[in-house]
Structure 1
Amino acid sequence: MKQIAIGPEKKLGSAVVQGCMRIAEMSEEAVDRLIKTDLENGVTFFDHADVYTDGACESLFGKVLAKQPGLRDKITLQTKCGIVRGNGDHNKAFDFSKEHLLETVNDSLRRLQTDHVDYLLLHRPDALVEPEEVAAAFDQLYTEGKVLHFGVSNQNPYQIELLKKSVRQPLEINQLQLSIKFTGMIDAGINVNMTVDDASDRDGSILDYCRLNDITIQAWSPFQYGFFEGVFLDNPKFPELNKEIDKVAAKYGVTNNAIAVAWILRHPAEMQVILGTTNVSRIAASAKGADITLTRQEWYDIYQAAGNKLP
């Protein structure tokens, strides 16, 4: 599988990442099969968060790791923190205080049954963030060897710049929603100086900012349209888009999932794609997209078939 050089240190990671948000209801045997399927298809990067099913996803994953000595060394392990959950999936608050970050990372390490994570991301922006508190937490976690690399999730350029005022470690990753049907960070750059709605810059040119600052974008929800409104693949609401994707998929002899992945990876920003599915056959099919390089025209044809217009 294609490898992505992450951050300024250019540490290599698989272009496709296995998202672990939906594994809580799986058996240990099923999670073991999931991990093995990922590894067989070149997916070596696994993404968690402390709030995914209140830590149950990390706990289950940790049980599988503990039963297989040597497996931890074969994977890149990432988790996120900073969200305080209320009832169910409701976010009660965001907390980037030193105390909260240290406590939640230690809890994640205990659940994952490992002494360190390769990457730690701040999950969603905390309006009350004090960069000095984040810096103190990161320094302690790094010095203790509990976190090797750091990043953020869903943050804009000035939020990252504010953190960088105090944080000494490079912020190497930014997780952002991106798919063929969720292209805001791309649309604004195409429609510069236009009066159409697509010209609205809602994220401070985060795509260009990340490229300029060696921050790797991890695209989440690569098959979704809207904010968890559903998948666009094989969806009768989007006939023109699916017709175009299916045409390109037939050319390369792969599934439509692979083309949706390939479309994101074709961008020269050198992104990673996070798969949320736990269906092993779909994972294997999607992973093939990492080895396909769409032509420039194919990329633009799919972009326009999704309903976007070029100026």
Structure 2
Amino acid sequence: MRVMPLEKREVTASRLVLGCMGFGGSWDSSPISDEDVTKAEQAIDEALSLGITMFDHADIYTMGKAEEVFGRVLNSRPGLRDQMVIQSKCGIRFEDEIGPGRYDFSKEHILNSVDKILQRLSIEYLDIMLLHRPDPLMEPEAVAEAFLQLKSSGKVRNFGVSNMNKGQIQLLQAFTEEKLIVNQLELNLKKLDWVDQGVHVNQAAGTGTHFGEGLLEHSMLHDIQIQAWSPLAKGIYSGNDSEKLSEADFKTKELVQKMAAEKGTSREAIVLGWLMRHPAMIQPVIGTTNTERIRNCMDAIEMSKQMTREEWYSLYVSSRGSRLP
């Protein structure tokens, strides 16, 4: 029986992750309201009641308010932190008086970011800290020094990356003894490049994300947990009618609905189950505060176990709008 790479790293995490990007209200400097705190607490409680124990943050989410709201909930309920695996990300900087929007993997920025993350979350350590997207100016020696300082101080227990290709991971890993245990990527039925071994699919429709050949295989070989952000593809196959659909998207949406009806489950469970069926043991990050949608996702674990090869390939072929190469 396959297990998640995180479990091999002795990180006890749930199969699904609750993404907290929507916590804290709007993406501006407006103050946090009581409603924002209540909404976050309800989502946290719903997740925990369903067995979701891992929570994903980033220092930029709602301009830091997502972490602050989460921290207020933790402060008001002693002992809640012990039930969770908490990860956050740093490295993205918005445009400011110093410069344009940019990435920053400098040692100073990483250390300062983690201090502020811990302060906002009102916790003493992060279970996992991810570098948020690649920085073209990354100096791996400086990142390694930051990792060593954070680990030795007890502020971060594990490290990972997001949206990195195989070469970027190998470069960074060569300079640090800290194993990179997570890579968070945009993966879903609409983003298929990860399946096609680096071949850009659906180019005419403008879809597909190119991570390069061998990324999933490298991750499986080195027990790097692949986490999927936007695993529901903005809900286009599970109820979001605001997006303009291509012919392939429309047919796939119908197929998802048909499978959900036949199996007596939600459309979200079918879409996530497809992703989780892959032997890499992909871990979806559900980015919602809607308690009903969180519940709709839970059956994905069982759907991934039940999904046949034929069903998996039916969705794969339908979503890419053509036959297999």
What secondary structure does 1:32 align onto?
helix
Report the secondary structure of 2:127's partner residue. Answer: strand
Deviation at 1:224, TM superposition (A): 1.6
Return closer, same or farther for 1:33/1:200 CA change in 2, 3 Å cut-off: closer
Task: Structure 2: give runs of 5+ residues left out of the alignment.
Answer: 26-34
Q: Deviations over 1:258-301 (max 9, x none)?
A: 11110110000011001111110010111211222211111100
Q: 1:134 to 1:258 in 2, by over 3 A?
A: same
Return the alpha-carbon distance in structure 2 between the equivalents of residues 199 and 106 of structure 1: 36
CA distance in structure 2 between the partners assigned to 1:56 and 1:202 by the alignment: 31
The 5 A counterparts of 1:1-311 are 4-6=4-6, 8-25=8-25, 27-86=36-95, 92-188=101-197, 202-224=211-233, 231-234=236-239, 235=241, 237=245, 238-292=249-303, 293=305, 294-306=307-319, 307-311=321-325
Do the aligned residues in 2 keep the contact of 1:5 with 1:13 (CA within 8 Å)?
no
Q: 2: CA distance between counterparts of 1:252 and 1:91? A: 49
Matched residues in 2 for 1:53 and 1:73: separation?
25
Q: Distance in 1 between matches of 2:188 and 2:208?
A: 18
Q: What's the RMSD between the two structures over aligned residues?
A: 2.5
State the one-letter code of the partner of 2:317: Q
Separation in structure 2 between the aligned mates of residue 10 and residue 287 of structure 1, nearest angstrom:
23
State the SS of the aligned residue for 1:57. helix
**Structure 1 residue 167: Cα displacement:** 1.1
Residue identity over aligned pairs, in percent, reads 40
Query: Hey, what's the Cα distance between the residues in 2 that align with 1:231 and 1:169?
Result: 38
Judge conservation of contact 1:84–1:95 (CA < 8 Å) in 2: yes
> In 1, are the aligned partners of 2:75 and 2:122 still within 8 Å (CA)?
yes
Give the AA of the match of 1:261: L
What is the Cα deviation at residue 200 of structure 1?
Answer: 10
Spell out, residue by residue over 1:33-61, the C-alpha distance to the aligned partner (whole angstroms, 9 max, x if none).
11010011111110000111221110110
CA 1:175–1:199: 2 relative to 1, 3 Å: closer
Q: Is the 8 A contact 2:39 2:289 kept in 1?
A: no
Q: Distance in 2 between matches of 1:224 and 1:199?
A: 12
Gaps of 5+ in 1: none
Q: Which runs of 4+ in 1 moved over 4 A?
A: 196-202
Q: Secondary structure at the match of 1:259?
A: helix
CA distance in 1, matches of 2:38, 2:222: 41
Deviations 1:157-216 (A, max 9, x none): 110111011111100000000111111111236x79x9x999996523211111111111
* Offset, 1:308: 4.4
- Asked whether the 8 Å contact 2:94–2:101 carries over to 1, the reply is yes
Cα deviation for residue 246 of structure 1 reads 1.2
- 1:7–1:214 contact (8 Å) kept in structure 2: no
State the TM-score, normalized to the length of structure 2: 0.86
Give the distance between the partners of 2:291 and 2:275, measured in 1 at CA.
21
Aligned residue identity for 1:301: S
Secondary structure in 1 aligned to 2:64? helix
Per the TM alignment, residue 76 of structure 1 is displaced from its structure 2 partner at its CA by 0.5
DSSP 3-state at the match of 1:80: strand
Cα displacement (A) at 1:251: 2.3
2:299 is paired with a residue whose SS is: helix
Q: Distance in 1 between matches of 2:38 and 2:66?
A: 14
What secondary structure is seen at the aligned counterpart in 2 of 1:86? coil
1:55-100 C-alpha deviation (Å, 9 max, x unpaired)? 111011000011111100001000000111126xx97111111111
Checking the alignment, whether the CA contact within 8 Å between 2:165 and 2:211 is kept in structure 1 is: no
Offset of residue 255 of structure 1? 0.9
